[in-house]
Every structure is written in structure tokens, then in C-alpha cells.
Amino acid sequence: MRKSLILLALALCALPMTGAKRKVHTIGDSTMSEYKPAATPKRGWGMYLQAFFDADSVTVNNRGKSGASTRTFYETENLWQSVKKQMHAGDWLIIQFAHNDEKCKGEDVYVQNARLRAEGKDTLTDMRGTEPNTTYKEYLRKYIHEAREMGVTPVLMGSICRAYFKDGKINDEGRHVLAENKNYIRCMHEVAEEMNVPFLDMTERSRELYEQAGQDYCMTHYFNCGDKTHTSATGGMAIAMLAYELINQAPELAELHPWLVFPSKETYAAYAQVIEEKGKKAAFTAKGETFTLEIGDWRLVNIEKQKNGFVPVGGLWPAGEIDEVANRYVEYSISAEKKGLVVETISLPICAKGGEGMNMHINYGFGDTFRDVTTIYENTALKKNKKELIILDQPILVPAGETLHIRVLPWYDSNGKPQTKKYLQLGQLKVKGKRLH
């Protein structure tokens, strides 16, 4: 009897309160994540999903993270654990990973590093790669199990395709198939069947969308961001619409159906405009003492400084990188100490030396856990040997006692082969702002 009462109490706790707002949490990579319009033309599809839900009944908490794989999203302190703090019984969790899990061409990075050590070679510092049949599945199971423990309903969604066309069709790699036995989306589907989890095949639906539109239209409208992985505003909106259709057509997601809406053209345009305006620079009217800081000290994580500039530890840029690597960066820190401050302008001289494939993000975050991460600058394919002064007119409030960390995260588009003798040169970072009274 006592056991039955305990189980009944747990079941009641798992039910959402009557009239309470549902939350749909989304976790994944850069194809889903938030972007600031002032920093980049890229838009993650998760930015637009809220438009397809009644905002009075459902809140979409888009927590996609640029550069994340199933492993790094789970193991990075301020990602999965942060999402779990925001989840409650009755919520839903959409899980979409594959792009960055493929970093080692379908092999787990720990297995690859063991082989490299045995061969006397430098090991990789990018720890994102998982093997689809083993570690990729294991991490998907972790998300599912931990969500269910909290009374949250998990949903697996296949990753959107890359716009890798061949003869008018999306090729295997574009569909996350690296070999017959290295098919990430098939492995995700197998986990869904094994654990009785809804599976939404966004990979297939995005393939259909791209092929029907054609390569030229895709690259002009859906992917006008300088690559074939990240969607533009138009592409992000189109994928969010496919997510609405997949949810609406899934019988096992019937609980969500009453809260789905299909916005009118005018409503959708207005929603998209809010996103564009929201991402522009914030305005601060704080009064205080003007200051200029020239920051010459930095912290290096999996980066080393050589004569010609910064490179990954060991000097080798790995093959297959398409996005930032969360554990490879140069970091600058600014502490507000006893008084708060407002950073008004950040300037940094940069130069890519040795090749045309250098890319970089500049992110900021707060505290030791680097929380509230925001991308404030992105540059893909920096011009070789061309010096540039980045000036970021990006007001940032740093409260008293807080520390602002500014991270420069480089990666190299190696065209399928590891690269050496490619360097990112950084000058002295200069910060202008006001110390608050």
C-alpha cells in the first residue's frame, strides 16, 4: 500500500499544473542555435519555432549551441546541466545532433587518439567526434533517460541536411551517411525504436525541400551565408515550418497539437522582423567614468602561440571542421570588481596568415562557467595575409563583482585534409566603456 501511494504521488508530481504554460526545449548544434543579426547572416531554425506555437500556451526554449556534438553538449558544464535546470515535468525536449558528431569521419575521437598515440603521432584536441553505432547512441540514450526521469517527454529529430549536391541530389555525406555502417540518422532512428521515443525525420524532409528547390535556389536563398551547412533567415524559417509539419503529423505528439498554430504571412513576417531587431545592439544610458583598457594578457585553451601566430596545440588544424570548437580558444577577461561597468566598444587587430580557410567567432560570456554566451562577431574565410581591425560596437553590461570573458574561437576549413602552417594573428585587444558610479 505504501509503495502504491509513493508511486501515485510521483505520478501526480509529473503532471503539469492545470493552465500552466508548456515548454518545448530544443538542443542541438549551430543549425538550430540563436544568432545575432548584427554579427552574421546565419539563422538557426530554432529561432523561428516559437512562431508555430500559441505563445500564451507554449514557450520554446531554444538551446542549440554552435559547435556542439552529443558528447560536448552533454559534458560542457553550462549546456546540458543548464537546460535541465530549466526543464520541468510536462515539458518536451527536441534533440537534434549529427553535424559535429561526424568530426572524426564516423570514428570516436578517443579511439582515434588511441591509434594516433600508438603510431607516435599528435592526438586531437577536438573531442566532439562520436561513432554512430556506439558513443553517438550512448549520448542520445543519456538525454532520453535523464529527460524522462524529470517527467519531460523526449523527441529525436534527424539533423537537417547539408546542401551537398551531386547531379541535383543531396549526396550521402549531406544526409549524414559517411559509410554503409556509419549512418547517424539511421542510428538515431534505431535508438528511437529501442526506447520508444518519437522520431521526426527532418533529414528526409530537408532533403526533399532542397532537391525540389534546386541547388541554385538553395544556395541563393536558403544558404546565403558562405557555406552549405548554415541556413539564412529564409532557410531557417523554411526548416521551422517543416518542424511544425512533422510535429503536426506525428500521432505520438498529439498532446502538442492543440497548441500548434500556422501563422499568417503577415504575422510570420512580423515575427521574423522582431528577431532581426532583437539582435541589434543594445542601448545603455548609464553614466560613469570613461575608460580604455588595452588587454595584452590572454588565456590559451588547446591553442599555442608560435612565431607566426596562434595554432592548435601541435600546429595541426584538423580536417572536416565547419564550426567553432568550444574547447579551443584565446580568452581575454575583464573584471568589474566593486563597481559595474558598461563595455561600449571592443577593437581587435586580426590577420589570417598562410591560407584562405581561416574562420573565427568572437563570443562573450560571464563567470567561471562562461554562462550567457553570445556570439558578437563571425568571419568565415578570412582573406590571407590581409590585416583587419575588428571594431565591435556592442554594449555589454558587466555587473559589479562579475567577470566578462571574451573568447576568440578559430577553426580552419581544411577542404578535407589536415592543414599546417596556417596561423591566426591577433593584436592587442582594446576595450572602451564606462565605470558605473
- Indicate whether 373 and 399 sit together in one domain: yes
CA 385 to chain centre: 29
Q: Is the same domain home to 135 and 168?
A: yes
Whether 140 is covered by a domain: the verdict is yes
Question: Same domain, yes or no, for 52 and 111?
Answer: yes
Of the candidates 227, 248, 278, which is a domain's last residue?
278
| Entry pTM | 0.83
Residues 124, 325: Cα–Cα separation, whole Å: 12
Placement of cell 493552465 in the chain: 19
The residue segments making up the domain with residue 339 are 288-436
Q: What is the pLDDT of residue 281?
A: 62
Q: What CATH number corresponds to the domain at position 26?
A: 3.40.50.1110
- Do residues 234 and 343 share a domain? no
Residue 160 and residue 239 in one domain: yes
Are 359 and 231 contained in the same domain? no
Of 238, 257, 278, the last residue of a domain is 278
Give 10-residue mean pLDDT values along the chain (437 residues): 35 43 95 87 95 96 95 92 96 97 94 92 87 98 98 98 97 96 98 98 98 97 91 96 98 96 92 84 72 90 94 88 88 89 93 91 90 84 90 88 95 82 94 89
Torsional sign, CA 226, 228, 230, 236: positive
> Looking at the 3D structure of the chain, how many domains does it have?
2
38 half-sphere exposure, CB direction, 13 A CA radius: 15
DSSP assignment, residue 175?
A: G
Of 223, 253, 278, the position where a domain reaches its end is 278
313 in the same domain as 194: no
Do 326 and 218 belong together in one domain?
no
- Give the chain's count of helices (H) and strands (E): 10, 20
The answer to whether position 168 is within a domain reads yes
- b/e per residue 20-34 (b: at least 16 CB within 10 A): eebbbbbbbbbbbbb
DSSP for 76-126, please give it: STTSHHHHHHH--TT-EEEEE--TGGGGGTTS-HHHHHHHHHHTT-PPP--
- Is residue 388 a part of any domain in this protein? yes
Domain-embedded: residue 371: yes
226 and 320 both lie in a single domain: no
> Tell me, what's the pLDDT at 8?
31
- Is the distance from CB of 401 to CB of 358 less than 8 angstroms? no
**Cα separation of 222 and 41, whole Å?**
11
209 in a structural domain: yes
b/e for 56-90, b at 16 or more Cβ within 10 A?
eebebbbbbbbbbbbbbbbebebbbeebbeebebb
In the prediction, which pLDDT does 432 show?
93
Quote the pLDDT of residue 17: 41
At 406 the pLDDT is 95
pLDDT, residue 7, reads 34
Same domain, 395 and 267: no
Phi-psi region of 370 (alpha: psi -120 to 50; beta: other; left: phi over 0): left
| Joined grid coordinates for residue 96 | 537534434
Asked whether the beta carbons of 126 and 107 are under 8 A apart, the reply is: no
- 110 lies in the same domain as 191: yes
Domain assignment present for residue 283? The answer is: no
